[in-house]
């Protein structure tokens, strides 16, 4: 490819390749490679398309039956591959579409003109009772600043309900759809643009397709081919959209400079893990040629393993050499072992700590007026969370969110229990993980420099204060040092609620959000959030998060919620659900989730007996490598995973913690879900 030629490929072409017959795929790829080497080669016959309204569209011959549609920019040797199809279909497609550059935000846009005309036609002569157009208060410039292509303005002007907007969504750029629903949720155009960091203050040259292709908005749907082997690599790897096409906000956050720690919030399925992986790739790229390392850490082991596979699919070997992917507990274990730490870290509370806790609680005096559960929570949420080691420190400690005030005498009485418990642990050579994190922090503070240059942290909501302090201590303070992604709605270990600022992590001015759910249908998302009604959700830094601004791109059937079913009818129902899920697509991946291991195993056994192959997802297992279609797991194991269809059974009261757990489980589903309560 010569320097002055730019080849761009649309996501439609990249997605569409797999739908072509194999022989056509091969020919299309061969053609693209030839085209990439020299788009002006005499061997390539550009045919004008007489009926096309965009006069820059051309067709090229792939074989006797298939044609490619290419946009030839008015100047600068820029060629954009837009579509591949059978001859007549390709021509019909070309007649409908128009490429342009959004004159306000400078993004490449492709508009289906016929769709716009039909939308406008349908809306003429509104009945007098119809509501006003949704965006009548916004100027054309505002709409284009949000990402609406100029050619789509007439269609957007006809919208009168959220349903109308959803019907337009498949034809709108993602950022335009997102901008419009944020306006409906009450945001102003300027606040949306500011939080996205979209620039609309430049003069846009609407004929400069080379410059437009580089903008983050364009890159959410167009890929700029970088070098000789680039296109082949893209097309031969698994065609998961997230590897190549990021939401403009994902791309910006993955690559921008932050002058310190940053935190990205986003509801389930909004692409936080995807963003985190691209951020790691980007930062690792800056470390090539140095000895420095980036830490990618998560709470759950299974997720760390899947992220490792994800990173391998987007990073070069050189970049990978600078990334260490490990869940935090495993990292702490390794770190302390290397320092000849004398204690065993009691990761398994039930097996290691519970008997000792129960033994010291024998002396607990009920006349203190608090329950034994309250005492354990006090130990976790105040003593362990703040790393308190003396009675005096506990007497003075703030107890925000603990509900009741404890007199000095009561605190002293509780301290005796706590001290005694730690002593019992110590005689057995054990430490609770929070205390071990604290010890690791102290050991690190003796070192000359922190072991990592950067860290990217997924599932931040499940890291407690000691874990956050340790993460801080593991990374050299500086630009781009820490990127946290998380979602308070998905906190499944309530004791781990933390405030980043009180753990030495200052994210002021560097907090951002993702809004678009790429995974679940809107129907599943709404059903899942209805479980969280009345549950207070925090923003990981002492403030509140809200849910009204999230939205899904996909639609599908409303999930079922079935209450009070007998075990027998749950078994029948689960089997029927699986049959239904597999009906149209035998490759459907199904998650079967339960709140206990016992219930999980019961369901798995029943499904196996019904003739299906079921894999049980355990600790430290890569889901992506399991040879099965149906996966049974506890709700705790479901974090970070995804399935086409999810069926959940819960046999316990739906308290706040359980609601969050079920929320996590249900938002793993892409298109079908059912819940038994
Ligand atoms: N830019 C994108 N384009 C297409 N698909 C995307 C994009 N970003 C994310 N996805 C897809 O959306 C789904 C959810 O992404 P991801 O797992 O990163 O979300 P998340 O916010 O970490 O979710 P959760 O918090 O629920 O675990 C995945 O299937 C992912 O491949």
Phi, psi of 82 (to 5 degrees): -110, -30
Residue 339 annotated in ligand binding: no
Q: Distance between alpha carbon 508 and the CA centroid of its chain, in Å?
A: 22
**Which residue is listed with tokens 């009920």?**
366
Residues 6 or more apart in contact with residue 550 via CB below 8 angstroms: 266, 267, 270, 515, 516, 517, 525
Q: Which atom of ligand 1 is nearest to the CA of 642?
A: 29
What pLDDT score was predicted for residue 2? Answer: 52
Q: Which atom of ligand 1 is nearest to the CA of 518?
A: 12
**Which residue is listed with tokens 């009204």?**
548
Q: Which atom of ligand 1 is nearest to the CA of 486?
A: 25
Residue 183 has pLDDT above 90, yes or no: yes
Residue 238 has pLDDT above 70, yes or no: no
What pLDDT score was predicted for residue 297? Answer: 96
Residue 16 has pLDDT above 90, yes or no: no
Distance CA 280, CA 315 (A): 9
Give the Å distance between the CA of 274 and the centre of ligand 1.
Answer: 6
| Residue whose CB lies within 8 A of the most ligand 1 atoms, among 178, 247, 273, for a mutation test | 273
Nearest CA to ligand 1 atom 26: 268
Which whole number is the average pLDDT over 345-361? Answer: 88
Q: Distance between alpha carbon 551 and the CA centroid of its chain, in Å?
A: 13
Residue 267 annotated in ligand binding: yes
Residue 167 has pLDDT above 90, yes or no: yes
**What's the chain's average pLDDT?**
91
Nearest alpha-carbon partner for 77 in 167, 128, 4:
4
- Boundaries of every domain in the chain: 6-100+205-224, 103-196, 237-337+437-517, 347-431, 557-676
Residues 6 or more apart in contact with residue 203 via CB below 8 angstroms: none
Instruction: Answer yes or no: are the C-beta atoms of 320 and 284 closer than 8 Å.
Output: yes
What pLDDT score was predicted for residue 127? Answer: 66
CA–CA distances in Å: residue 518 to residues 216, 247, 515, 522, 555: 18, 10, 9, 10, 11
Give the Å distance between the CA of 246 and the centre of ligand 1.
Answer: 10
Digit-coded pLDDT (tens) for 460-493: 999 999 999 999 999 999 999 999 999 998 988 7
* Between residues 368 and 149, the one the model is more confident about: 149
Find the range with the poorest average confidence among 77-86, 232-241, 370-379, 628-637: 232-241
Q: Which ipTM was obtained for this model?
A: 0.99
- Three-class SS state of 177: helix
| Residue whose CB lies within 8 A of the most ligand 1 atoms, among 251, 253, 269, 490, for a mutation test | 269
Q: Which atom of ligand 1 is nearest to the CA of 641?
A: 27
Give the percent of the chain with pLDDT over 70: 97
Residue 129 has pLDDT above 80, yes or no: no
Q: Which atom of ligand 1 is nearest to the CA of 241?
A: 4
Nearest CA to ligand 1 atom 3: 242
Residue 271 annotated in ligand binding: yes
Return the CATH superfamily for domain 237-337+437-517: P-loop containing nucleotide triphosphate hydrolases (3.40.50.300)
Q: Which atom of ligand 1 is nearest to the CA of 670?
A: 29
Distance CA 544, CA 536 (A): 8
Give the Å distance between the CA of 513 and the centre of ligand 1.
Answer: 14
* Between residues 205 and 373, the one the model is more confident about: 205
What pLDDT score was predicted for residue 573? Answer: 95
Q: Which helix (H) or strand (E) holds 648?
A: strand 643-649
Digit-coded pLDDT (tens) for 340-352: 888 888 888 888 8
- Cβ atoms within 10 A of the Cβ of 65, count? 13
Give the Å distance between the CA of 254 and the centre of ligand 1.
Answer: 14
For residue 301, name the pLDDT band (cuts at 50, 70, 90).
confident
Q: Which atom of ligand 1 is nearest to the CA of 247?
A: 1
Give the Å distance between the CA of 219 and the centre of ligand 1.
Answer: 17
Predicted TM-score (pTM) above 0.90: yes
Q: Which atom of ligand 1 is nearest to the CA of 250?
A: 1
Give the Å distance between the CA of 643 and the centre of ligand 1.
Answer: 12
Which whole number is the average pLDDT over 237-244? Answer: 74
Nearest CA to ligand 1 atom 6: 242
Which whole number is the average pLDDT over 279-288? Answer: 97
Most confident range (mean pLDDT) of 274-288, 333-347, 354-368, 419-433 is: 274-288
Nearest CA to ligand 1 atom 1: 246
Which whole number is the average pLDDT over 53-58? Answer: 95
* Beta-ladder partners of 669: 643
Distance CA 386, CA 11 (A): 49
DSSP 8: E
Beta strand segments in 346-468, E: 430-431, 454-457
Instruction: Answer yes or no: are the C-beta atoms of 267 and 487 closer than 8 Å.
Output: yes
Give the Å distance between the CA of 270 and the centre of ligand 1.
Answer: 5
631, two tokens: 């996966």
DSSP 170: G
Distance CA 407, CA 620 (A): 44
Residue 268 annotated in ligand binding: yes
Residue 272 annotated in ligand binding: yes
Give the Å distance between the CA of 674 and the centre of ligand 1.
Answer: 21
Phi, psi of 106 (to 5 degrees): 80, 15
Instruction: Answer yes or no: are the C-beta atoms of 646 and 633 closer than 8 Å.
Output: no
Give the Å distance between the CA of 342 and the centre of ligand 1.
Answer: 41
Angle between helix 328-338 and 465-474 (nearest 10): 60
For residue 242, name the pLDDT band (cuts at 50, 70, 90).
confident
Give the Å distance between the CA of 458 and the centre of ligand 1.
Answer: 13
Digit-coded pLDDT (tens) for 588-604: 999 999 999 999 999 99
Distance CA 630, CA 614 (A): 5
Residue 453 has pLDDT above 90, yes or no: yes
Digit-coded pLDDT (tens) for 61-89: 999 999 999 999 998 889 999 999 999 99
Distance CA 564, CA 189 (A): 47
Distance CA 606, CA 642 (A): 22
Return the CATH superfamily for domain 6-100+205-224: RelE-like (3.30.2310.20)
Q: What angle do CA 206, 213, 209 make, to 5 degrees?
A: 35
Residue 119 has pLDDT above 90, yes or no: yes
Nearest CA to ligand 1 atom 9: 271
Nearest alpha-carbon partner for 373 in 402, 401, 398, 416:
402
Nearest CA to ligand 1 atom 15: 271
Q: Which helix (H) or strand (E) holds 419?
A: helix 408-427
Written out in words, the top-level CATH class of the domain with range 557-676 is alpha beta
Instruction: Answer yes or no: are the C-beta atoms of 391 and 412 closer than 8 Å.
Output: yes
What pLDDT score was predicted for residue 287? Answer: 97
Residue 124 has pLDDT above 90, yes or no: no
Distance CA 268, CA 667 (A): 6
Nearest CA to ligand 1 atom 14: 269
Which whole number is the average pLDDT over 262-266? Answer: 96
For residue 131, name the pLDDT band (cuts at 50, 70, 90).
confident
Nearest CA to ligand 1 atom 25: 268
357, two tokens: 């806790």
Which whole number is the average pLDDT over 598-622? Answer: 89
Give the Å distance between the CA of 427 and the centre of ligand 1.
Answer: 46
Q: Which atom of ligand 1 is nearest to the CA of 459?
A: 25
Give the Å distance between the CA of 628 and the centre of ligand 1.
Answer: 22
Instruction: Answer yes or no: are the C-beta atoms of 345 and 317 closer than 8 Å.
Output: no
Residue 190 has pLDDT above 70, yes or no: yes
| Residue whose CB lies within 8 A of the most ligand 1 atoms, among 173, 519, 642, 673, for a mutation test | 519
What pLDDT score was predicted for residue 369? Answer: 83
Distance CA 646, CA 593 (A): 7
| Residue whose CB lies within 8 A of the most ligand 1 atoms, among 518, 623, 660, for a mutation test | 518
* Beta-ladder partners of 231: none
Q: Which residues line ligand 1 (CB under 6 A)?
A: 240-242, 245-247, 250, 266, 268-274, 487, 490, 518-519, 640, 642, 667
Q: Is 462 exposed, middle or buried (0-12, 13-18, 19+ CB in 10 A)?
A: buried
Which whole number is the average pLDDT over 29-53? Answer: 86
Q: Is 256 exposed, middle or buried (0-12, 13-18, 19+ CB in 10 A)?
A: middle
Residue 232 has pLDDT above 80, yes or no: no
Q: Which atom of ligand 1 is nearest to the CA of 240?
A: 31
DSSP assignment of 187-230: --HHHHHHHHT----SPP-TT-HHHHHTSTTGGGTEEE--STTH
Nearest CA to ligand 1 atom 11: 518
Residue 537 has pLDDT above 60, yes or no: yes
Residue 273 annotated in ligand binding: yes
Q: Which atom of ligand 1 is nearest to the CA of 220?
A: 1
Give the Å distance between the CA of 587 and the centre of ligand 1.
Answer: 20
Nearest CA to ligand 1 atom 5: 242
Instruction: Answer yes or no: are the C-beta atoms of 649 and 676 closer than 8 Å.
Output: yes
DSSP assignment of 532-592: TTT---B-SSSSB--STT-EEEE--PPPEEE-S--HHHHHHHHHHHHHHHHHS-TT--EEE
Give the Å distance between the CA of 220 and the centre of ligand 1.
Answer: 14
Q: Taking the CA of residue 31 as centre, how many other CA atoms within 13 Å lie in the half-sphere pointing to its CB?
A: 23
CA–CA distances in Å: residue 137 to residues 133, 150, 172: 9, 17, 20
Digit-coded pLDDT (tens) for 548-602: 788 999 999 999 999 989 999 999 999 999 999 999 888 899 999 999 999 999 9
Question: Would 6-100+205-224 and 237-337+437-517 be classified into the same CATH topology?
Answer: no
Distance CA 283, CA 182 (A): 30
Which whole number is the average pLDDT over 172-191? Answer: 95
Digit-coded pLDDT (tens) for 203-212: 999 999 999 9
- Three-class SS state of 427: helix
Which whole number is the average pLDDT over 531-537? Answer: 86
Q: Which residues of 415-454 are buried (b: 16+ CB within 10 A; e: fewer)?
A: bebbbebbebbeeeebbbbbbbbbbbbeebeeeeebbbbb
What pLDDT score was predicted for residue 15? Answer: 84
């Amino acid at each position: 490819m010569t320097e002055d030629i730019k080849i761009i490929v649309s996501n439609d072409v990249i997605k569409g390749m797999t739908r072509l017959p194999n022989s056509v795929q091969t020919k299309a790829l061969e053609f693209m490679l030839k085209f990439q080497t020299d788009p002006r080669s005499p061997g390539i016959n550009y045919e004008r398309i007489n009926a096309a309204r965009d006069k820059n569209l051309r067709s090229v011959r792939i074989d006797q039956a298939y044609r490619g549609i290419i946009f030839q920019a008015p100047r600068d040797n820029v060629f954009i591959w837009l579509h591949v199809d059978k001859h007549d279909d390709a021509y019909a497609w070309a007649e409908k579409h128009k490429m342009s550059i959004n004159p306000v935000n400078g993004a490449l846009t492709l508009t289906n003109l016929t769709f716009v005309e039909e939308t406008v036609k349908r809306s003429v002569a509104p009945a007098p009772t119809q509501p006003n157009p949704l965006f009548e208060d916004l100027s054309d410039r505002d709409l284009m600043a949000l990402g609406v292509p100029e050619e789509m303005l007439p269609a957007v002007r006809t919208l009168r309900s959220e349903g109308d907007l959803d019907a337009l969504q498949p034809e709108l750029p993602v950022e335009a759809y997102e901008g419009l629903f944020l306006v409906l949720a009450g945001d102003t155009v300027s606040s949306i643009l500011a939080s996205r960091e979209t620039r609309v203050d430049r003069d846009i040259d609407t004929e400069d397709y080379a410059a437009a292709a580089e903008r983050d908005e364009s890159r959410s749907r167009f890929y700029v081919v970088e070098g000789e082997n680039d296109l082949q690599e893209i097309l031969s790897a698994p065609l998961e959209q997230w590897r190549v096409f990021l939401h403009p906000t994902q791309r910006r956050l993955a690559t921008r400079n932050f002058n310190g720690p940053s935190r990205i919030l986003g509801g389930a399925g909004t692409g936080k893990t995807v963003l985190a992986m691209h951020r790691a790739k980007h930062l690792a790229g800056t470390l090539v040629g140095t000895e420095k390392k980036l830490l990618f850490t998560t709470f759950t082991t299974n997720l760390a393993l899947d992220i490792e596979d994800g990173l391998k699919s987007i990073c070069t070997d050189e970049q990978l050499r600078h990334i260490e992917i490990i869940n935090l507990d495993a990292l702490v274990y390794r770190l302390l072992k290397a320092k000849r730490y004398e204690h065993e870290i009691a990761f398994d509370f039930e097996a290691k700590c519970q008997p000792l806790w129960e033994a010291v609680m024998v002396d607990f005096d009920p006349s203190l007026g608090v329950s034994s559960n309250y005492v354990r929570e006090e130990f976790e949420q105040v003593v362990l969370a703040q790393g308190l080691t003396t009675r005096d420190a506990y007497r003075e400690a703030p107890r925000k969110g603990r509900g009741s005030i404890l007199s000095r005498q009561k605190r002293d009485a509780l301290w005796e229990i706590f001290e005694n418990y730690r002593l019992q642990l110590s005689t057995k050579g054990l430490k609770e993980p929070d205390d071990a994190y604290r010890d690791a922090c102290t050991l690190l503070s003796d070192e000359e420099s922190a072991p990592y240059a950067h860290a990217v942290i997924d599932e931040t909501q499940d890291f407690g204060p000691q874990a956050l302090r340790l993460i801080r201590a593991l990374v050299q303070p500086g630009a781009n040092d820490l990127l946290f992604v998380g979602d308070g709605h998905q906190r499944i270990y309530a004791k781990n609620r933390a405030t980043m600022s009180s753990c030495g992590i200052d994210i002021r001015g560097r907090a951002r959000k993702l809004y678009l759910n790429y995974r679940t249908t809107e129907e599943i998302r709404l059903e899942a959030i209805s479980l969280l009604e009345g549950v207070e959700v925090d923003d990981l830094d002492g403030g509140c998060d809200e849910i009204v601004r999230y939205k899904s791109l996909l639609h599908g059937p409303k999930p079922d919620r079935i209450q009070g079913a007998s075990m027998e009818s749950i078994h029948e129902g689960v089997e029927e659900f699986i049959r239904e899920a597999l009906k149209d697509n035998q490759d459907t991946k199904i998650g079967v989730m339960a709140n206990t291991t016992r219930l999980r195993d019961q369901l798995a056994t029943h499904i196996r007996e019904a003739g299906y192959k079921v894999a049980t997802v355990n600790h430290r297992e890569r889901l992506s490598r399991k040879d099965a279609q149906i996966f049974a797991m506890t709700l705790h194991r479901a974090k970070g995973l995804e399935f086409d269809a999810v069926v959940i059974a819960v046999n316990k009261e739906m308290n706040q913690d359980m609601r969050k757990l079920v929320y996590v489980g249900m938002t793993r589903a892409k298109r079908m879900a059912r819940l038994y309560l």
